[in-house]
Structure 1
């Protein structure tokens, strides 16, 4: 059974759009993952610096345009919670990237299949 040229064009256009969208979204997700990785590294470095300080050292955190003296245990708690939040974000981005990669591959294989079978 042969598909009409009009239907074939519409099918190719839909699959092409889906493939392009998945590719674009995958690029965005990879950029977000790179940003989150940098943030994670910054948190690790900050935590190691804070942990190396004596417990009675004055530590200041930026709040808007001012700095507030914060006890080291509070800073450590904040760093730990931000690290956990980043881990969750990275896990979600990994899932999203996996889904988009599969969508992209499926669209690509569908396009190839239609092009191979479209001429008959």
Structure 2
């Protein structure tokens, strides 16, 4: 069974478009991972610094253009919660990246198979 040239071109175009889109999405997810990882590290360092402080120290949390005094336990709880959310986001983005990488590799493999099995044109 042979496919017409137009049908083959459409299939190739769809596979190529799929590969390009998967690659773009993969790069975007990698960028998001690095941004979220940086934020998580900042929170981790902040929590470490708060842990090193002794006694009842005044803590202030930025709210819009002002700062509100908050208890130390509440501040540490909020920071720990944010760190956990970022770690979960990073985990989900890593899963998404693996899926997109697999999708890109499959599209590349399909293109290689099509070109490998294509009949050779004679001059």
Q: How high is the TM-score relative to the length of structure 2? A: 0.93
For 2:74 and 2:54, the matched residues in 1 are separated by 14
Query: Are 1:8 and 1:118, in contact at CA under 8 Å, matched by a contact in 2?
Result: no
Query: Are 1:26 and 1:100, in contact at CA under 8 Å, matched by a contact in 2?
Result: yes
For 1:63 and 1:103, the matched residues in 2 are separated by 42
Gaps of 5+ in 1: none
Aligned to 1:39: 39
**CA RMSD across the alignment:** 1.1
| Residue 23 (1) aligns with residue 17 (2) | no
Structure 1 runs, 4 residues or longer, greater than 3 Å off: none
Between 67-76 and 21-30, the greater mean CA deviation after superposition: 67-76
Aligned to 1:4: 4
Gaps of 5+ in 2: none
Q: How high is the TM-score relative to the length of structure 1? A: 0.95
